[in-house]
Amino acid sequence: MYLRIDRLQIELPMPKDPDPNAAAAVQELLGGRFGEMSTLMNYTYQSFNFRAHDKLKPFRDLIANIATEELGHIELVAATVNSLLVGATQPADPEEAPLAIGKDSRSTAHFIATAQTALVGDSMGSFWSGSYVFNSGNLVLDLLHNFFLECGARLHKIRVYEMTKNPVAREMIGYLLVRGSVHATAYGKALEVITGVNMTKLLPIPNIPNSKFPEARKYEEAGVHRTLYRFSPDDYRDLAQIWRGPAPTGDGDLVVVDGPPAGGPVPVLPEVPEEFAPGLTAEEIAELARKLAGS
Ligand code: MN3
């Protein structure tokens, strides 16, 4: 089962201006083939379906714990998409076509389907698919797939970074580049424990270090790239049997931190009356507050 903390994994800066086309590009990192929905659901189902976890506990602990972190990653990418869409339209009568910008933006779905919030889909508006989940039941093959998935995810993050200079998008990408590299390293080390092969020698893929990206560099300087957060009050402790030893970056040891990162607040999304979202007048909201308070 899951507990939930009402915070994002990092503090997201607030955008100065709306940027609907950056929001559309960022969707790839949420619901694309290599997006956070894919990492989340691959590791989640692999942890649900894991055989003999009484005998192979450190490996299941590692996969299950990373899966939980990924749940917070879809939350962070969704918050980024939402932030990039704030202020894209202004309230007006329908005959004034207040949503006109929607027809000229890359994602009409953001304006028609979701009232200017995240879509469970990719940068072209195609829905995320369960067919992106690979769970063969063979531990080495599943770990090898996860290593590949993290490398593909890193490539796509870097390409989206190269598409937009938007500081909100880049802050999120900088952090997730670092976290994705932690996960690629973790799966590489798990394969190393089982087979002896030095997977982390392949990293980074593509061959450009995270320190080249200013938004990632600051997290590396804080040691985030050597840290695996344990997202459970008491469980998944045996992942420390895999996540230990010197970091492949050569700047210290790998560490397990008990508990989540400090993170930042979940931004409040303003009402969008021209989208009828949330669809209550100021008077109705005030009346509801009175009712809920019991007065
Ligand atoms: Mn991730």
Amino acid in the structure at residue 106: R
pTM recorded for the entire structure:
0.97
Total count of domains within the chain: 1
Give the Å distance between the CA of 19 and the centre of ligand 1.
23
Res 211: pLDDT: 95
**Tens digit of each residue's pLDDT (9 = 90 or more) over 143-178:** 999 999 999 999 999 999 999 999 999 999 999 999
Domain presence at residue 12 = no
Give the Å distance between the CA of 140 and the centre of ligand 1.
20
Domain presence at residue 6 = no
Give the Å distance between the CA of 183 and the centre of ligand 1.
8
* Domain boundaries, position 238: 20-292
- With 90 as the cut, is the pLDDT of residue 272 above it? yes
Average pLDDT over residues 240-265: 96
Average pLDDT over residues 240-244: 98
- With 80 as the cut, is the pLDDT of residue 37 above it? yes
Note the Cα 171 to chain centre separation in Å: 12
% of the chain beyond a pLDDT of 70: 100
8 A C-beta contact, residue 178 and residue 210:
yes
Residue among 14, 40, 15, 17 at smallest CA distance from 29: 40
Domain presence at residue 9 = no
Confidence of residue 261 (pLDDT cuts 50, 70, 90): very high
Domain presence at residue 281 = yes
Domain presence at residue 105 = yes
Average pLDDT over residues 188-197: 98
Res 123: pLDDT: 98
Give the Å distance between the CA of 38 and the centre of ligand 1.
9
Average pLDDT over residues 99-121: 98
Confidence of residue 89 (pLDDT cuts 50, 70, 90): very high
The beta-carbon contacts of 205-208 under 8 Å, at least 24 apart in sequence, are 205/151, 205/154, 205/155, 206/154, 206/155, 206/158, 208/158
Q: The CATH number of the domain where 244 resides is what?
A: 1.20.1260.10
Give the Å distance between the CA of 252 and the centre of ligand 1.
23
Domain presence at residue 85 = yes
- With 90 as the cut, is the pLDDT of residue 45 above it? yes
Mean pLDDT, all residues of the chain: 97
Residues near ligand 1 ion, CB 5 Å cutoff: 39, 70, 73
Domain presence at residue 10 = no
Res 12: pLDDT: 97
Domain presence at residue 8 = no
Give the Å distance between the CA of 112 and the centre of ligand 1.
28
Give the Å distance between the CA of 180 and the centre of ligand 1.
5
- With 80 as the cut, is the pLDDT of residue 224 above it? yes
Confidence of residue 237 (pLDDT cuts 50, 70, 90): very high
Residue among 276, 270, 278, 261 at smallest CA distance from 75: 261
Give the Å distance between the CA of 33 and the centre of ligand 1.
13
8 A C-beta contact, residue 164 and residue 19:
yes
Average pLDDT over residues 118-131: 98
**Tens digit of each residue's pLDDT (9 = 90 or more) over 9-19:** 999 999 999 99
Give the Å distance between the CA of 77 and the centre of ligand 1.
10
Confidence of residue 104 (pLDDT cuts 50, 70, 90): very high
- With 80 as the cut, is the pLDDT of residue 295 above it? no
